[in-house]
Amino acid sequence: MTEAIKPFKVNIPDEEVKRLHRKLKDTRLPPKEIVPNAGDRYGPSYTWAKNLYEAWLNDFDWYEHQAQMNTAPHFIYTHGEGINIHFLHAKSSREDAIPLLMVHGWPGSFYEFNRVWGSLSNPQNDSASAFNVVVPSLPGYAFSDWPLRADWTLQDSAKVFDDLMKLLGYEKYMFQGGDWAHWVGRELGSKYTDSCQLIHFNFAPSRLPDLSRRGRREVTSREAEVRQRVDDWLENHMGYAIEMRTRPHTIGFAVNDNPMGILMWIGEKYIEAAGPESQKQRYWTQHILATASLYYFTDCIMPSMLCYYDNVRHEDFADFAMEPHNRITVPFGYTSFFWDTEPSSKRAVELTGNLVFYKERDEGGHYAAAEDPDGIIEDVRQLAALHWPSPR
């Protein structure tokens, strides 16, 4: 271990945990829904919000999740620019393990991968690929420092993560991620190709074909459904992004010390962008509450918004991915989860780079590693088995 990397353990002080509970007990919810029979037309339903609040107050144990976070060793990496980056490192016992960098987005965290880092690093089946899993917190999230300056981009984060992997001794590695992590991976797969050798995405914005110009037989039912979902997302669900890419201080101050405010601000995306089967599980409620608690304990709700302020806008995602200098030249794979915010199709994604693996999954959504850990593990392993470069 170098001096630039120091051990770390997730250990929220007991007083902070008690303070969160006191603030929850002292919370006064709106007395009723905004108009009769509002349902979810005005945002998450009143019933959903109330049930989530009551679960946080009466059916949530932070220490249970903190213990799960600490099932892998954590570290703080001090980069040459002076920024401290938190990461966990689930090393395999296998000598043939493939280095794997896994990166989260918003409103996620490193905890999004808690259901996969153990199985990926130490599979029960000896014939399955094993990985040395590195999961950093993006700058401004959880235990990582806030960005050092204005205009810190995901491309800046990509460089920091590439430096981290090399410092860990991983001269060549694989990448996996979705949401904002897509842009980290796209940067690595187009500019850092000596080190980043293989990529898997569960979110890959791309220019969907103009279905109106195609004959009915040329359009698959999946493409038609995907087009409808993407259009609905961009038309009806972007208020949060507009606020964060224009006035992050405003909403940041409003919710930073307001647990219920944090829960609603991020929880909205966990109900709108996750598959319906995920939302039936107690685990999903617990995962939302653990993530909201992590944001609250680490004061990261405001700096986490900088991804929206300092990076490409949603309506420009596809054009950005199509620019020649952003084309992924290393082999990459993409799993299209139907309930994602902007699911895509094979013939759209393959226009953005060297696509060698494509799969469709109908159950999960935007938070693939948390919603469908078995699916992500299977697809990462299959992609690696087919396309990870053999030792020379």
| Catalytic residue list | 179, 308, 366
At 391 the pLDDT is 63
Across 260-279, average pLDDT: 94
Q: How far apart are CA 222 and CA 109, in angstroms?
A: 30
As a 3-state breakdown, the chain gives helix, strand, coil percent values, each rounded to 5, of 45, 15, 35
Helix (H, G, I), strand (E, B) or coil at 52: helix
Q: Is the pLDDT of residue 106 over 50?
A: yes
At 367 the pLDDT is 97
pLDDT, tens digit (0-9, with 9 covering 90-100), for 133-170: 999 999 999 999 999 999 999 999 999 999 999 999 99
Across 66-87, average pLDDT: 97
At 1 the pLDDT is 62
Mean of per-residue pLDDT scores for the chain: 93
Which CA distances in Å does 383 have to 36, 50, 370?
Answer: 50, 42, 19
pLDDT, tens digit (0-9, with 9 covering 90-100), for 193-241: 999 999 999 999 988 766 544 444 455 677 777 778 778 888 888 899 9
> 314: pLDDT confidence band, cut at 50, 70 and 90?
confident
pLDDT, tens digit (0-9, with 9 covering 90-100), for 131-143: 999 999 999 999 9
Cα 73 off chain centre by: 20
Q: Is the pLDDT of residue 89 over 90?
A: yes
Which CA distances in Å does 104 have to 20, 27, 314, 388?
Answer: 25, 30, 17, 22
Q: Are strands 84-90 and 74-78 parallel, antiparallel or unpaired?
A: antiparallel
**Contact, 38 vs 46, CB < 8 A?**
yes
Poorest-pLDDT segment among 24-38, 181-195, 229-243: 229-243
At 212 the pLDDT is 46
Across 328-350, average pLDDT: 93
At 219 the pLDDT is 57
For the record, the structure tokens of 1 come out as 């271990």
CATH architecture of 1-26+43-210+241-391: 3-Layer(aba) Sandwich (3.40)
Helix (H, G, I), strand (E, B) or coil at 177: strand
The verdict on whether omega for the bond into residue 107 sits within 30 degrees of 0, i.e. cis, is yes
pLDDT, tens digit (0-9, with 9 covering 90-100), for 348-370: 899 999 999 999 998 899 999 99
> To 10 degrees, what angle do helices 282-298 and 62-69 make?
80
Q: Is the pLDDT of residue 27 over 70?
A: yes
Q: Is the pLDDT of residue 247 over 50?
A: yes
At 127 the pLDDT is 85
Q: How far apart are CA 245 and CA 305, in angstroms?
A: 7
Torsion of the alpha carbons at 225, 228, 231 and 235, rounded to the nearest 10: -130
At 123 the pLDDT is 93
**Contact, 359 vs 381, CB < 8 A?**
no
Across 377-385, average pLDDT: 97
pLDDT higher for 2 or 340? 340
Q: Is the pLDDT of residue 374 over 90?
A: yes
- Domain ranges for the chain: 1-26+43-210+241-391
At 217 the pLDDT is 45
Helix (H, G, I), strand (E, B) or coil at 94: coil
Q: Is the pLDDT of residue 339 over 80?
A: yes
* Prediction pTM value: 0.95
Across 109-117, average pLDDT: 98
